Amino acid sequence: MSNSHTSYGDAGFSQFIQSAFQRHLGHGLEDFEKPVIGICNTYSEINRCHSHIKPMVDAIKRGVLMAGGTPLEFPTISIGEMFTSPTTMLYRNLVAMDTEEMINAQPIDGVVLIGGCDKMAPAQLMGAASANKPAILFTGGPMNNGEHKGKALGACSDCRFFWQEYKAGTVEEDEIDQINERLAPTAGHCMVMGSASTIAACSEALGMMMPGGAATPATANARLHQAQETGKAIVSLVEKNIRPSDIMTREAFENAIRTLMAIGGSTNAVIHLIAIARRNGIRLDMQDFEDYSCTTPFLANLRPAGKYQMQELYYAGGIPAVLKELSPLLHLDTLTVTGETLSENLAGIEVEENYKDVIRSLSLPLHKDGGIAVIRGNIAPDGAIIKPKAASEHLLNHKGKAVVFTSLKDMEERLNDPDLDVTPDSVLVLQNGGPVGAPGMPEAGMIPIPDKLLKQGVRDMVRLSDCRMSGTAFGTVLLHVAPEAAVGGPIGLIKEGDWIELNVPERKIELLVSPEEISRRQYEWRPPAFTDYNRGYPLLYRQHVLQANEGCDFDFLLPVSEEGEENEKL
Ligand code: FES
C-alpha cells in the first residue's frame, strides 16, 4: 500500500497503529499487500444526478476484487447543478482540491472517481491530474428520454424551451405541469449533449474513461457491467503504473477538443479542458479551440444543436462510434485507461446503417465545421465564445443598441419592466457575472427574452455577458467574455444605447465607440466594492480565480517546477 503512514515521528509505531486499524471491516493485513483501490463515492441525495450510484460502486468493487485488488470506498464533496447556490462553478475548484488531497493523503495505489453532474468530472480530472496516481473516471450516466406528445423531452434544453413558451403564453398551466413531471424521468444526469454528457465524451477521448462510458444510460445493465470492468482496469493500471500524466498528453487533449467540436458539446468544456490541461502542465488557449473548430466537422446529431439525445447516441454506438468516424483527424497512438491505445480500443467499432443520422460520417457531416466559435474584439480582447449552430442564422451578423444590466440582480429587477427600452434588435448585455464578479461565473448567460418581446413572438436576441450558460441552453448568446467586467474588462465599459456589432463569420465583437471614449471610460472605471461573499472560501475564490480563457482554476493550483516556480509553459 502506497503512502501509507500517518506521521508520528516513529515509523515503527506508525506501522503498528495502522495495522490495528487496517483490521476494521474484517480485513486481514494481507489484503493490503494487494493493489489498494480508492473508490471516490460521490453519492448524494441532494446532488440528484448522483443519487443512483450505489450499485455502481458495488460493481466497481466487484471488479477490483475479481482482478485481485482491495477496494476501499471514500467520500468527497458532491455538487449538483440544481441545488447548489449561487452556482456549482464556484465550488468546482473546491471539489478538485478535495479530490486531489484525498487521493494524495490516503493510503491508496489507484482510484476510481465517480462523476456525473456537470462540474464533478472536470473537478475530479483536475484533482487526479495533480495527484497523478493511477486513476479512471466513471460517470453515473445519462437519464433516459422523457416524452411529451410523442416527442422526446430532454433535460434541460426542454426545461428552457417550454418555460419560454409558458411565459409567452403558448403553453398552459396544466401542460407545463405535465412536462415538468416528465423532464427528468429516471436517475442519471441530463440526457442532451449538455455539460455532463460533453465532459463524459471528452473524457473518453482523453483516454481517462473506459470506452462507451459516456453514453450508456444510467439505468442500463450495461452500465453496471462497465463499472465492473472499470474496477478490473484500475487494478491493471496500478500494476502497470500507468498514471494520468501518461494518458493526458497534449495529443490526448487535441483529441478531446476535436471530439468537443464533433459532438457540438457544451461551451463549459472549453473552460474545463483548459483547466485540466494546465494541471497536467499543458497550455491550451482559445486559439486551439478556434483552430480545431474550423477543421473538425460536426458529426453527432444531438440536442441542443441537433436532433437526438444520449439514448439514441448509446444505441448508435456511443462515443467510440463518434471517435471511429473522427479517427482520420485524431492522434490514434494515445494511451488510454484500458492500457491500450485509442486505435486499439476502436478496432472493430462501426456505426450501423440504421444510426447514420445520429452519428454522421466525415463525408456527410451535419455541418462542415465544429460547434463552438471563438470571437474576439474590443469588447473581448482575451476572447469569448458562441455556439453558432445553436444560434439564429439571421443574428450571426448583427448590429444593435445595448441594453445594459450591471449585475444579475439588476437584470432580474429590470428585464421585465414594461418601460424597458428594448426591441428585438437590441443587444442584451450582462456585466459582472464573471468568475470574480458574480462570483463563480453562473450559467446566466442565456439572458431571458423580456416577456413583452416573447409575447410579440420574439424567441432569440443577441446576448452577451461574462457569464457561462448551461450546455443544454441555446440562442445567439456570446459567453465567457474575457477579461470580465469585475477586473476591468471592456465589457464593463459598455453603456446603455452604445452600438455593438457581432459578426460570427468574421469572429468579431465590437463596441462601436471611439477609442478615445473607451480610454476615458477606462480611466474612470473603479473596481466594484463587494458586499457579499467576502469571507471564507468565496473570498479565497475571488482572490485567486483565473479568467475564463485561463480555465478559472486557482492560480496557486497550477503546477510548479521543482524549484518552486510556476510552470513556465503556463
Ligand atoms: Fe446534473 Fe444536468 S443537473 S447534469
Residue 41, helix vs strand vs coil: strand
Q: What is the pLDDT of residue 1?
A: 56
d(CA 293, CA 288): 8
Instruction: Provide the CATH number for the domain formed by 375-524 in this structure.
Output: 3.50.30.80
Q: What is the mean pLDDT of the chain?
A: 95
Looking at domain 34-144+186-355, its CATH class is alpha beta
**d(CA 198, ligand 1 centre) in Å:** 12
Question: Domain extents for the chain?
Answer: 1-32, 34-144+186-355, 150-184, 375-524
Is residue 35 exposed (0-12), middle (13-18) or buried (19+ Cβ within 10 Å)? Answer: buried
Q: What is the pLDDT of residues 297-311, one digit of tens each?
A: 999 999 988 899 999
CA torsion, points 74, 79, 80, 81, in degrees to nearest 10? -160
pLDDT at position 181 is 95
CA angle 286, 528, 462 (to 5 degrees): 50
Check residue 229 and give its pLDDT.
98
Grid coordinates standing for 32?
Answer: 493490503
**pLDDT at site 2:** 53
- Residue 569 reports pLDDT greater than 50: no
- CA angle, 212 then 192 then 445, to 5°: 130
Q: pTM (2 decimals)?
A: 0.96
For residues 53 and 277, give the distance between their C-alpha atoms in angstroms, rounded to a whole number: 28
Residue 314 pLDDT grade (very low, low, confident, very high; cuts 50, 70, 90) = very high
State the distance from the centre of ligand 1 to the C-alpha of 418, rounded, in angstroms: 34
Ligand 1 centroid to residue 480 C-alpha, Å: 20
- Confidence at 471, pLDDT banded by 50, 70, 90: confident
Q: With left for phi above 0 and alpha for psi between -120 and 50, is residue 245 left, alpha or beta?
A: alpha
Is-same-fold flag (34-144+186-355; 375-524)?
no
Distance, CA 154 to ligand 1 centroid (Å)?
11
Residue in 481, 490, 480 with CA at minimum distance from that of residue 272: 480
CB of 117 within 6 A of ligand 1: the answer is yes
162 falls in which pLDDT band (50, 70, 90)?
very high
Nearest residue (CA) to ligand 1, atom 3: 81
pLDDT of 279 higher than 80:
yes
What grid cell was written down for 506?
A: 468574421
State which ligand 1 atom lies nearest to the alpha carbon of 80: 1
Query: Cα(361)–Cα(322) distance, rounded to whole angstroms?
Result: 9
Beta-bridge partners for 335: 341
Closest CA to 47 of 127, 104, 123: 123
The per-residue b/e assignment along 293-328, b for 16 or more CB within 10 angstroms, e otherwise, is: beebbbbbbbbbbbebbbbbbbebbbbbbbbbbbbe
Question: Tens digit of pLDDT for each residue in 514-564?
Answer: 999 999 999 999 999 899 999 999 999 999 999 999 999 999 999 987 665
User: Average pLDDT for residues 162-180, to the nearest whole number?
Assistant: 94
Section 314-327 average pLDDT = 97
Q: Which atom of ligand 1 is nearest to the CA of 195?
A: 4
196 in ligand 1 pocket by Cβ < 6 Å? yes
Residue 478 has pLDDT above 70, yes or no: yes
- Checking if the pLDDT of 80 tops 90, the result is yes
pLDDT, one tens digit per residue, over 366-375 is 999 988 999 9
| pLDDT, tens only, 387-413 | 998 899 999 999 999 999 999 999 999
pLDDT single digits (tens) 498-516? 999 999 999 999 999 999 9
Query: How far apart are alpha carbons 431 and 496 in whole angstroms?
Result: 12
Q: How many CA atoms lie within 13 A of 232 on its CB side?
A: 10
d(CA 47, CA 110): 25
What are the Cα distances from residue 100, in Å, to 106, 124, 289?
Answer: 10, 8, 27
Q: Output the pLDDT for position 207.
A: 98
Question: What pLDDT does 470 receive?
Answer: 85
Q: What is the rounded CA–CA span in Å between residue 322 and residue 349? A: 10
pLDDT at residue 57 is higher than 50: yes
CA–CA dist 355, 548 (Å, integer)? 36
- The finding on whether 258 has its CB within 6 A of some atom of ligand 1 is no
In this prediction, residue 305 carries a pLDDT of 84
Nearest CA to ligand 1 atom 1: 117
Neighbours of 567 (CB within 10 A): 14
